[in-house]
Amino acid sequence: MPPVFRFAPSPNGLLHLGHAYSALLNFDRARQTGGRLLLRIEDIDATRCRPEFETAIYEDLAWLGVAWETPVRRQSDHLADYRAALEKLSALGLVYPAFESRAEIARLVAAREADGPWPCDPDGAPLYPGTAKSLSADERARAMGAGAPYALRLDMEAACRLVGGLTWTELGEAPGGERGIVAARPEAWGDVILARKETPTSYHLSVVVDDALQDVSEVIRGQDLFHATSVHRLLQTLLGLPAPAYRHHPLIRDEAGRKLSKSTRSTGLRELQRAGVSPAGICQLVGLGQDSLGFSKTPP
Ligand code: GLU
């Protein structure tokens, strides 16, 4: 079977140089290996994703010269797949509803910090401080019956106990320089959110379901998602899904060393195009040659 790669942007803004780098690395690697390149639209966050950004993704990638297979998988069209995975995890007894609002969580964290620093996840957000895991079945039913909003969280401790130690194959560069067989540390994330009352999935859940459904064999993405891979390996194992290899790449940064965001206009592909930069110029800006892109210099 040929290797399968994917570029998986979220249509919540316009693409910038960092996306171009990721897309070009995937495209290049697929060409070098005789593999397939898929494009996936990760649009489960209905409040931030917009159809015009999806259209812009197609236009900007085509302008760059990236070619992908169709049909494109749009996550919002496949909520039933994620719901099925969530039910599997629930059947293992690993999912519980938590009813605190963001403001209540912030208050709980502040209260706990009175006794010393409260731990944060690898993205810098405080771990879930609540106690919803220990609510009785009656209390849960009552809150749900009253129509309270909730997040469905993974019981991380129980999940880790069930699967034991996990690793993944890192073909790229971890932020800390690790590569090869890397030990996963999902516990660093605490009880992550898997779904919400109104959305039957989350980034973590849909990404592992889709990578498996689409037979993705090598995930090439930015180092900002390196630590999330620990959660992905855990969910894959719980759901009995295969593990792709991972190749996390360094992030493109602005002159001040900051990670690019979709609102960083000077590094947006459209801005650069308007300023007269060609697709070959974009390759050069992200440090890739025109024909033989980055990974050709560092084969696995
Ligand atoms: N949709 C994610 C993003 O735009 C990328 C997900 C992934 O590559 O796993 O940041």
Q: Is the shortest distance between the CB of 225 and ligand 1 below 6 Å?
A: yes
Calpha distance 287→65 (Å, rounded): 16
258 domain-assigned: yes
Q: Which residues pair with 65 in a beta bridge?
A: none
pLDDT digits (tens, 9 = 90+) for 60-115: 999 999 999 999 999 999 999 999 999 999 999 999 999 999 999 999 999 999 99
Mean pLDDT of all residues in 286-297: 54
Q: What is the mean pLDDT of residues 272-288?
A: 93
Q: Are residues 85 and 175 in the same domain?
A: yes
For 208, the enclosing helix (H) or strand (E) is helix 203-213
The answer to whether residue 244 is domain-embedded is no
Does residue 229 sit in the same domain as residue 124?
yes
What confidence tens digit (pLDDT) does each residue in 43-55 have? 999 999 999 999 9
Q: How far is CA 252 from CA 19, 186, 196, 257, in A?
A: 9, 26, 32, 9
- The closest-lying atom of ligand 1 relative to the alpha carbon of residue 232 is 9
Decide if 245 is inside a domain.
Answer: no
**Atom number, ligand 1, closest to the C-alpha of residue 222:** 8
Domain containing residue 261: 1-77+250-300
* 13/139 same-domain check: no
Question: Does the beta carbon of 220 lie inside 6 Å of ligand 1?
Answer: no
Q: Which two tokens stand for residue 252?
A: 């493109």
pLDDT of residue 300 exceeding 80, the answer is no
107 CA to centre of ligand 1 in angstroms: 30
Picking from 54, 61, 73, the residue whose alpha carbon sits closest to that of residue 27 is 61
Same domain for 91 and 46, yes or no, is: no
Assign 256 a pLDDT band (cuts: 50, 70, 90): confident
Nearest CA owner, ligand 1 atom 10: 9
- Domain holding 61: CATH number? 3.40.50.620
User: How many Å lie between the centroid of ligand 1 and the Cα of residue 8?
Assistant: 5
Q: Which of 203, 236, 269 is the last residue of a domain?
A: 236
On whether both 190 and 90 belong to a single domain, the answer is: yes
Q: Is the CB of 73 under 6 A from ligand 1?
A: no
Which tens digit of pLDDT belongs to each residue from 222-242?
A: 999 999 999 999 999 999 999
User: Ligand 1 in contact with 200 (CB < 6 A)?
Assistant: no
Residues 61, 99 within the same domain: no
For residues 100 and 209, membership in a common domain is answered with yes
Eight-state DSSP code of residue 244: P
List the strands of the sheet with 218-222, edge to edge: 180-183, 167-170, 245-249, 218-222
CB 67 within 8 A of CB 35: no
CB 14 within 8 A of CB 270: yes
Query: Do residues 296 and 28 make contact, with C-beta atoms less than 8 angstroms apart?
Result: yes
CB of 60 within 6 A of ligand 1: the answer is no
Average per-residue pLDDT in the chain? Answer: 92
**Same domain, yes or no: 28 and 126:** no
108 and 134 inside one domain? yes
Give the number of domains in the chain: 2
Whether 142 and 183 share a structural domain: yes
The DSSP code sequence of 103-158 is HHHHHHHHHHHTTSPPPB-TTSPBPP---GGG--HHHHHHHHHTT---EEEE-HHH
Q: pLDDT tens for residues 190-224?
A: 999 999 999 999 999 999 999 999 999 999 999 99
In a domain, 241, yes or no: no
